[in-house]
Amino acid sequence: MEKPFAITLQVESSLANHTGSWRVERPQYVNLMPPCNNACPAGENVQKWLYTAEDGSYEEAWRALIVENPFPAIMGRVCYHPCQTVCSRGQLDEAVGINSVERFLGDLAIEKGWSIPVTAPSTGFKVLIIGAGPTGLSAAYHLRRMGHAVTIRDAADVAGGMMRFGIPKYRLPRNILNAEIARIEDMGVRFQLNHKVDNVQDAIDDGFDAVFLAVGAQIGKRAYIPAGEAARILDAVNVLHDVADGEAPLLGRKVVVYGGGNTAIDVARTAKRLGADEAMIVYRRTREKAPANDTEIQEAIEEGVLMKWLSTVKHADAGVLKIERMELDDKGFPQPTGEFEDLEADSLVLALGQEVDLSLVNNLPDVEVRDGVVHVDPNMMTGRAGIFAGGDMVPAERTVTTGVGHGKKAARNIDAWLRKEKFEKEPIPRVVEYSDLNPWYYTDAPHAVRPRLEGVRRASNFDEVVQGLDESTALYEARRCMSCGNCFECDNCFGVCPDNAVIKLGPGKGFEFNLDYCKGCGICVSECPSGSIIMIPEKS
Amino acid sequence: MSTTPVKFYQVGSFAVGNRLLPAAAGSVQSDMERTNALTSGHRACQGCGEALGARYAMDAAMRAANDKVIAVNATGCLEVFSTPYPESSWRIAWLHSLFGNAPAVATGVAAALRAKGRTEVRVIGQGGDGATVDIGFGPLSGMFERNDDVLYICYDNEAYMNTGVQRSGATPAAARTATTQAVGPEPGNVFGQGKNVPRIAMAHEIPYVATATVADLRDLEAKVARAMEFRGARYLHVLVPCPLGWGSQSCDTVKIARLATQSGLFPVFEAERGEVVSSTPIRQRVMVEEYLKLQGRYSHLFSPKRRDDVIDRLQAAADRNIKRYNLMPEEAGDL
Amino acid sequence: MFKQVEGSRAVAEAVAACRPEVICAYPISPQTHIVEGLSRIVKEGKLGTCEFVNVESEFAAMSVAIGASATGARTYTATASQGLLYMVEAVYNASGLGLPIVMTVANRAIGAPINIWNDHSDSMSQRDSGWIQIFAETNQEAADLHVQAFRIAEELSLPVMVCMDGFILTHASERVDIPEQEQVDSFLKPYVPRQVLDPDNPVSIGAMVGPEAFTEVRYMAHMKTLSALELIPQVAKDFQEIFQRDSGGLIRGYHSEDAETVVIALGSILGTIKDVIDDQRENGVSIGALGIITYRPFPFDAVREALRNAKRVVIIEKALSVGIGGVVAQDIRHALSGLEIHQYTVIAGLGGRPITKASLSDLFDKAVVDDIRGLTFLDLDQELVDAEMKREAGQS
């Protein structure tokens, strides 16, 4: 075609005009810290495994999950999911049911028999872990994946620690617990059960290069309560332990549990299942101030557990307790009122917290003990080189998830120490705030509530109370994730650029900016749903 | 709307794409192989809504017409920033003639194609609000009346931007332009009767009339696709914010278009043969103030003295749209 | 085939024989009969898939023509007077885009005062528009020029305006040899556009061109238009070979080679002029005539050559450039610059005023003895003018 000069132009000849030179700011893709990940005591990359699960790649999602935490099926039942408390979606409609998806993935892994191959070459180092609870098992798992030879010793005849002896099976069925522990055993971790370690020094002398102490807090805290001889006072830890062992402690018709933590709730709910007509929580502060997880409290109430807030037990006698009513002062502390009442009770179970048996470090003078727990440095190492400690043994929140997180952290530090290196945690990116997001793009989608056993029915047996999600609801739930601070390939940037200056690299590969043409208008930043693009000043 | 929107829990109903969506169900703009009818290197201002809207619409038309599209462009920003000698940003067959004749030129193109038996090639006329609402209105009406086989798209940025932001027949009441200055007792544009070209188009009873914005891509694409299912005269009116003329931030272009719809000031609807057949409900209603306050052209309504009287009149216009186009169907009983 | 037909009908049939693909028109006297004729021919299905578009204005008519032509269709329209002025923006655009549109202008005066009758004011107003302008002397030539116009337009990729006197030609019934379809087909090959809107080979037509290249664009348009001066005689020659008659070309002399006085004019008035000249030559007066057929581009060299032997020229103008006088006269003056030839401009026939043999005869009698002013208004009612001017002066 003979094109007339100047008036007729070749198509797309404007590509010669690099409008990027207009720019004073440029967009940049970032990966920020999602609130869920930031809140997870086990350091899970929640956003990543939800993202992976969204397209039905469950095994891949599960494998992404277990990079940080070997117990998705357990977590999906017992974790108090602080991730959901901070979930950004909670500000839009309702938090993503992260915990339920985790359980779905964990259960699916058990069902499918997915195993965890140890691919790291053997390091030749031997590590002893004392305590087969969540902390110790987690440490063992991570150390094993790194190629170390790992031995776990535990005084009990079965592994699991407080996951087995402190958590009733209506919350954590034993087949689940056993399956996830067995998977760790299958990785080549050596379990030495019925093996109480009284002296850590002896263990070191057995030829271990490092030791991790994770014996847990298994001793019920004592509180002095004036009591008559005939009063039946039990310890919560022992009650739960007995039940776990298949014994039924004699609690009577009316049971009072003293305390406001999760253990107290567990005992009260267990008492109902053991046949008590009445189980009552007595706690000196309010429901809002109680350390127990509110979901647990709600479930207990639904099951008929009675709650007596702002009350202390002043005296215990056979069949009767003297209770003093408390009131909160200006600072929120409970203060006695001098008002008393009697309460019928066949037994009083004390659930006032637990303590750690620290006798095993008695003869290690380098290991410093403060306030009933072991003092460790930021790398979780005690005063004695090569001896590390974690979980309930060190100052921390005493939950399974925290223990799992400690296990991972300890493993990484032990690994580094063995290699004569220092473990450097990657810097944490900025945590995403709700204002970083563009919630317009998230279709309203309420939380998929997991089916629960109906209250009355469940209180009478030890069947699992909370049921799992089926695949469609798990998928739905995973897809409610807003992927805070991380690109999830919604194509918005690719679409909204008036200058066609975003290059789509293809599925799973994300996007790049074509800075030859990007004028720096910032629409991509404004319209990014997940806040994964920022503007940075152009270097002049 | 003819297509059922794809519902996604996470995103997808409103975002451009979704990696979980089969490619065939994706938006045109999410397609790596989209036409990019208006490609990089054009000289539109940063954050230009018209550049965005034109690519959205034309890419959708290209997909609907199997790449057989000829576009006729009126004079205006879109023409000037896309084809300054020696560079064109178009990747499609494109003709610019004059400011006021794009609908007629498009008619000529369509007539030639019909004469040549090349009716698989589809014709699109396009222009800004000045070209459409004002100077090209006669030819537009003629094209409608004859039911010529042309889809005409108006990219409405509510003033003559190319010449330096002067008032057009589409400039809203109270808006400041270079010829409706924000001075005197009644600052900004007059409260006239307005010139609602979509409704005028409907009065011609042409097969299809729709409104859309750059804030709802899927809606816009669905309307282009729907429009391309018809033969005869069709009209699409797309609201395209102009950061320069509206005194808004370049990054807010899509947001402002969204607020225009969510306030009710810009009703999004479609009509077939003169009857409204659907409207896009407001998802998150906002008061007009939310829309106005992001724009310098309305700043005189907020300072130095807040003009509640004017804001109320604009709110009343939005409320009327909500009722008239049933933009809040769930609350229709309350209005 | 000879037919006794109205000029408009002859043109319609000639245009139809050119197999146009898109015809668009808006009614304006005295062009209406042409497009009415074409409308019927199209409606009867005699032009195959040809589209006849009834538009809402002349501005739209030319715009539709632009779109159709840019899409590769052979495109025709017709207008006159106010209609031509209403489409002016698009007229310039069509030539700027190099679109080979053929348009008939049925010449008519421009208002105010509104006047539907013939003069050349409309076409003359577009002499700088970049269109080729050719003027028909007879209805035969009007028909023939349309056939040639498509060929010229398409070979140069430039629009051509065929000018014919409104009413005098358009509404006059006379014997015309209507171009036969086979002859037209052998003379005018199917249109092969220089550039075309095609989705399979897309281009951007109609760019904005700034100061850096605008002069060059205009210069090239000028050079290309000038090349029509080579092409048009060739086309006329080809036409003669096929149709066996002399039509078109740049200029046409009538006893002009040896005449001392040469009367210059465009269009149908040449017939009357020739009659007067015949009479005067019988009386021994050395007088001839020169018809300008191709007015744009102006055939300076041909005109100068044709008038080389003249002592004086009388330019009969059917248009007035207010404040100047003649329009054609300026071009003639330019063509004859440096030659010792007296030039007299005569404004005649404005708004349909009849130009009679008697008036012309009187005029020529005076002209041959150089007894006229440089600018004359033929048959001006001086008494009326004086009275009106006196009245206006009295009022002020």
Which domains are delineated in chain B?
A: 23-334 (3.40.50.970)
Distance from CA of residue A202 to its chain's centroid?
34
Residues in C closer than 8 angstroms to B96, CB to CB, are 204-207
For residues A1 and C196, the answer to whether their CB atoms sit within 8 Å is yes
Angle, helices A294-302/A262-273, rounded to nearest 10 degrees: 20
Say yes or no: do domains A13-31+487-537 and A225-351 share a fold. no
* Per-residue confidence (pLDDT) for residue C373, from 0 to 100: 92
C107 Cβ under 8 Å from any chain B Cβ? no
Closest-approach residue (CA) in chain A for C210:
A6
- Residues 433-462 of chain A with CB under 8 A from chain B are 440-443, 445
Domains of chain A: which residue ranges?
A: 13-31+487-537, 126-219+355-418, 225-351
| Nearest beta carbon to residue C209 from set A7, A10, A11 | A7
For residues C157 and C130, the answer to whether their CB atoms sit within 8 Å is no
What is the pLDDT averaged over residues B234-253? 98
More confident residue, B56 or A225: B56
What is the pLDDT averaged over residues A58-84? 95
CA B224 to chain A, closest CA, distance in angstroms equals 16
What is the Cα–Cα distance from C340 to B134, expressed in whole angstroms?
56
For residues C133 and C163, the answer to whether their CB atoms sit within 8 Å is yes
From the number of C-beta atoms within 10 Å of its C-beta (0-12, 13-18, 19+), residue A469 rates as: buried
What is the Cα–Cα distance from C101 to C68, expressed in whole angstroms?
9
CATH number of the A13-31+487-537 domain? 3.30.70.20
What is the pLDDT averaged over residues A58-66? 97
A392, A395, A400, A406 alpha-carbon torsion, rounded to 10°: -100
| Nearest beta carbon to residue C21 from set B68, B98, B115 | B115
Closest-approach residue (CA) in chain A for C157:
A4
Residues in C closer than 8 angstroms to B91, CB to CB, are 202
Q: Which long-range contacts (CB under 8 A, 24 or more apart) does B43-46 make?
A: B43/A17, B43/A19, B43/B80, B43/B81, B43/B82, B43/B84, B44/A498, B44/A499, B44/B77, B44/B78, B44/B81, B44/B82, B45/B242, B45/B243, B45/B244, B45/B250, B46/A22, B46/A519, B46/A520, B46/A521, B46/B243, B46/B250
A176, A177, A183, A189 alpha-carbon torsion, rounded to 10°: -170
What is the Cα–Cα distance from A431 to A31, expressed in whole angstroms?
10
Q: Where in chain C is the domain with CATH 3.40.50.970?
A: 2-242
Determine what percent of chain A is predicted with pLDDT higher than 90.
Answer: 64
CATH number of the A225-351 domain? 3.50.50.60
In which residue are the tokens 């043994």 written? A393
* Per-residue confidence (pLDDT) for residue B6, from 0 to 100: 36
Q: For residue A445, is pLDDT > 70?
A: no
Summarize pLDDT for B276-321 with one digit per residue, the tens: 999 999 989 999 999 999 999 999 999 999 999 999 999 999 999 9
What is the Cα–Cα distance from A401 to A260, expressed in whole angstroms?
20
More confident residue, B26 or C8: C8
For residues B238 and B154, the answer to whether their CB atoms sit within 8 Å is yes
3-state SS assignment for residue C51: strand
C373, C377, C382, C388 alpha-carbon torsion, rounded to 10°: -120
CATH domain C2-242 topology: Rossmann fold (3.40.50)
A4 Cβ under 8 Å from any chain C Cβ? yes
For residues A447 and A97, the answer to whether their CB atoms sit within 8 Å is yes
CB contact under 8 A, C70 and B96: no
CA B190 to chain A, closest CA, distance in angstroms equals 31
What is the pLDDT averaged over residues B200-226? 97
Q: For residue B193, is pLDDT > 50?
A: yes
Determine what percent of chain C is predicted with pLDDT higher than 90.
Answer: 98
Residues in C closer than 8 angstroms to A5, CB to CB, are 213, 216-217, 220
C389 Cβ under 8 Å from any chain A Cβ? no
* Per-residue confidence (pLDDT) for residue A55, from 0 to 100: 85
Summarize pLDDT for C209-226 with one digit per residue, the tens: 999 999 999 999 999 999
CB contact under 8 A, C67 and B107: yes
Encode burial over A159-194: b for 16+ CB neighbours within 10 A, e otherwise. Answer: bbbbbbbbbbbbbbbeebbbbbbebbbebebebeee
* Per-residue confidence (pLDDT) for residue A442, from 0 to 100: 84
Q: What are phi and psi of A10, to 5 degrees?
A: -70, 140
3-state SS assignment for residue C312: strand
Among candidates B298, B296, B262, B268, which has minimal Cα distance to B280?
A: B268
CA A109 to chain B, closest CA, distance in angstroms equals 23
What is the Cα–Cα distance from A204 to A363, expressed in whole angstroms?
13
What single-letter DSSP state applies at residue A19?
Answer: G
What is the pLDDT averaged over residues C44-68? 98
Nearby residues of A64 by Cβ (< 8 Å), 6 or more positions away: A45, A48, A49, A52
CB contact under 8 A, A17 and B43: yes
CB contact under 8 A, A523 and B251: yes
What single-letter DSSP state applies at residue A392?
Answer: G
What is the pLDDT averaged over residues B105-129? 98
In which residue are the tokens 């210059």 written? C264
Q: What are phi and psi of A492, to 5 degrees?
A: -60, -45
C286 Cβ under 8 Å from any chain A Cβ? no
* A456 — pLDDT class (breaks 50, 70, 90): low
* A87 — pLDDT class (breaks 50, 70, 90): very high
Q: What are phi and psi of C388, to 5 degrees?
A: -65, -40
Q: For residue B122, is pLDDT > 90?
A: yes
A11 Cβ under 8 Å from any chain B Cβ? yes
CB contact under 8 A, A10 and B89: no
More confident residue, A245 or C44: C44
Q: For residue B5, is pLDDT > 70?
A: no
The answer to which of A206-210, A414-418, B172-176, B241-245 has the lowest mean pLDDT is A206-210
Q: For chain B, give the secondary structure using H, E and C.
A: CCCCCCCCCCCCCCCCCCCCCCHHHCCHHHCCCCCCCECCCCCCCCCCHHHHHHHHHHHHHHHHCCCCEEEEECCCHHHHHHCECCCCCECCEEEECCCCCHHHHHHHHHHHHHHCCCCCCEEEEEEEHHHHHHHCHHHHHHHHHHCCCEEEEEEECCCECCCCCECCCCCCCCCCECCECCCCCCCCCCCCCCCCHHHHHHHCCCCEEEEEECCCHHHHHHHHHHHHHCCCCEEEEEECCCHHHHCCCHHHHHHHHHHHHHHCCCCCEEEECCEEEEECCCCCCCCHHHHHCCCHHHHHHCCCCCCHHHHHHHHHHHHHHHHHCCCCHHHHHHC
What is the Cα–Cα distance from C110 to C120, expressed in whole angstroms?
9
* B335 — pLDDT class (breaks 50, 70, 90): very low
Q: Tell me which amino acid residue B277 is.
A: V
- Residue range C251-382 forms a domain whose CATH class is alpha beta
CB contact under 8 A, A491 and B29: yes
CB contact under 8 A, C63 and B108: yes
What is the pLDDT averaged over residues B164-182? 97
More confident residue, A275 or A483: A483
C217 Cβ under 8 Å from any chain A Cβ? yes
Q: Where in chain C is the domain with CATH 3.40.50.920?
A: 251-382
- Residues 17-76 of chain B with CB under 8 A from chain C are 67-70, 72-73
CB contact under 8 A, B85 and C210: yes
For residues A304 and A457, the answer to whether their CB atoms sit within 8 Å is no
Residues in A closer than 8 angstroms to B42, CB to CB, are 14, 17, 19, 499
**Residue B287 is encoded by which pair of tokens?**
């008061």
What single-letter DSSP state applies at residue A436?
Answer: G
What is the pLDDT averaged over residues C108-113? 96
3-state SS assignment for residue A469: coil
CATH domain A126-219+355-418 topology: FAD/NAD(P)-binding domain (3.50.50)
* Per-residue confidence (pLDDT) for residue B332, from 0 to 100: 59
What single-letter DSSP state applies at residue A410?
Answer: H
CB contact under 8 A, C67 and B104: yes
- The pairing of strands A8-10 and C203-205 is antiparallel
What is the pLDDT averaged over residues C169-194? 96
**ipTM here:** 0.96
* A448 — pLDDT class (breaks 50, 70, 90): low
A16 Cβ under 8 Å from any chain C Cβ? no
Neighbours of C44 (CB within 10 A): 8
| Nearest beta carbon to residue B138 from set C24, C56, C73 | C56
The answer to which of A124-128, A317-321, B102-106 has the lowest mean pLDDT is A317-321
pTM of the model: 0.90
Q: For residue C152, is pLDDT > 80?
A: yes
What is the pLDDT averaged over residues C129-150? 98
| Nearest beta carbon to residue B55 from set A500, A516, A519 | A500
Taking all residues of chain B, what is their mean pLDDT, rounded to a whole number?
Answer: 94
* A460 — pLDDT class (breaks 50, 70, 90): low
Rounded (5°) CA angle A525-A527-A533: 30
What is the Cα–Cα distance from C169 to A374, expressed in whole angstroms?
117
What is the pLDDT averaged over residues C155-182? 97
Residues in B closer than 8 angstroms to C103, CB to CB, are none
Beta partners for residue B245, in sequence order: none
* Per-residue confidence (pLDDT) for residue B334, from 0 to 100: 47
* Helix count and strand count (H, E) for chain A: 19, 22
Cα atoms in the Cβ-side hemisphere of radius 13 Å centred on B14: 20
CB contact under 8 A, C213 and B93: no
